[in-house]
Amino acid sequence: MNEAAQNRNYDEEKCIVCGHTVRFYKNEYKKPCNYCGTWVFEKRKQVSLQEQDKNKEPKCWICMDKGIVEYPVQQGMGVYTYVARCICPEGLKWPATIPLLGQCKHATRPEFIELRNRELLGMVWKDK
């Protein structure tokens, strides 16, 4: 990443409908494209779970200390990713316009998300 990209105070996503760039400032995570009006959600730039420091155990296994939890919902012929806040202290720092995981009707249960994250980091015992 170049120095100019590191010093900017916004993130960018490209609208897949019209190709224009949508900028996200501060706590914004969704907004309509100024050109075509399509709602665009910011993709969180995340470090994969395997790349995280394996010696450092997260305080919250549900959100992995990010405060945001992504979960899939299958609807029709597609699988969509929804976003919710975690109930940990990091999740409560995010704006209240993002619902808590427990408030989401179709959200995956937190226990399953935690188990998946533990399995990805190799921190769960499996019967062989």
Q: Note the pLDDT tens digit of each residue in 9-42.
A: 888 888 877 888 988 887 777 788 888 888 787 7
Q: Note the pLDDT tens digit of each residue in 111-128.
A: 988 988 888 777 665 555
Contact call for residues 86 and 69 (beta carbons, < 8 A): yes
Q: Note the pLDDT tens digit of each residue in 83-107.
A: 999 999 999 999 989 999 999 888 8
Q: What is the DSSP track for 16-82?
A: TTT--EEEEETT--EEE-TTT--EEEPPP----GGGS-TTS--S-TTTTTSSEEEEEEEETTEEEEE
